[in-house]
Amino acid sequence: MENGANINEKNNDGFTPLMTSIKNEHVSLTYYLIENGADIHEKNNDGFNALMMAVEKNYIDIVEMLIEKDVNVNEISNCSCTALLIASSKDYLELVKCLVCHGANIHHKCSNGWDALTFAYKNNYTSIIDYLSQFN
């Protein structure tokens, strides 16, 4: 970046350096990029953003940092997926709680018609079922 590199330049798949650092589990680089102006709102060719990728990797600290930087917790991918749907489909209870506490829409359905509670039911994730059931 000191030599004029574009911190938000995308590759052929639409991944920015921030997305690539999350995907490849380079946590310290991820923090560096966020703190140095990486666009947290960019999406790749599939419509996934940095928040969704951090949720996929169960990086709660990065998720919280992105939320502090005002990332949209209800951003929707090309297949109508959200960060909450990812968290509930992977049994990441702490991330589910974090996202819901920051306004994630628990009623949003992905392209297959499932909402977060349905993902939890289909996978028998009882802690997420118990948590999300209080909102229905």
What pLDDT is stored for residue 26 in this prediction?
A: 96
CA gap 83, 110 in Å, rounded: 11
Token pair of 39 as six digits: 């666009």
Q: What are phi and psi of 43, to 5 degrees?
A: -125, 150
Tokens 């909450």 belong to which residue? 84
Are residues 19 and 7 in contact, defined by beta-carbon separation less than 8 angstroms? no
Q: b vs e for 56-80, b when ≥16 Cβ sit within 10 Å of the residue's Cβ?
A: bbebbebbebbbeeebbbebbbeee
pLDDT score of 2? 59
CA 71 to chain centroid, in Å, comes to 9
Select from 38, 47, 1 the least CA-distant residue to 16.
38
18 residue type, one letter: L
pTM: 0.94
Q: What is the pLDDT of residue 5?
A: 80
Q: Render pLDDT for 110-119 as a digit per residue (tens, 0 to 9).
A: 999 999 999 9
User: How sure is the predictor about 89, in pLDDT bands with cuts at 50, 70 and 90?
Assistant: very high
Task: Tell me the per-residue pLDDT of 23-33, one tens digit each, with 9 for 90 and over.
Answer: 999 999 999 99
pLDDT, tens digit (0-9, with 9 covering 90-100), for 45-86:
999 999 999 999 999 999 999 999 999 999 999 999 999 999
- Is residue 78 within 8 Å of residue 44, measured between CB atoms? no
CATH architecture assigned to 17-133: Alpha Horseshoe (1.25)
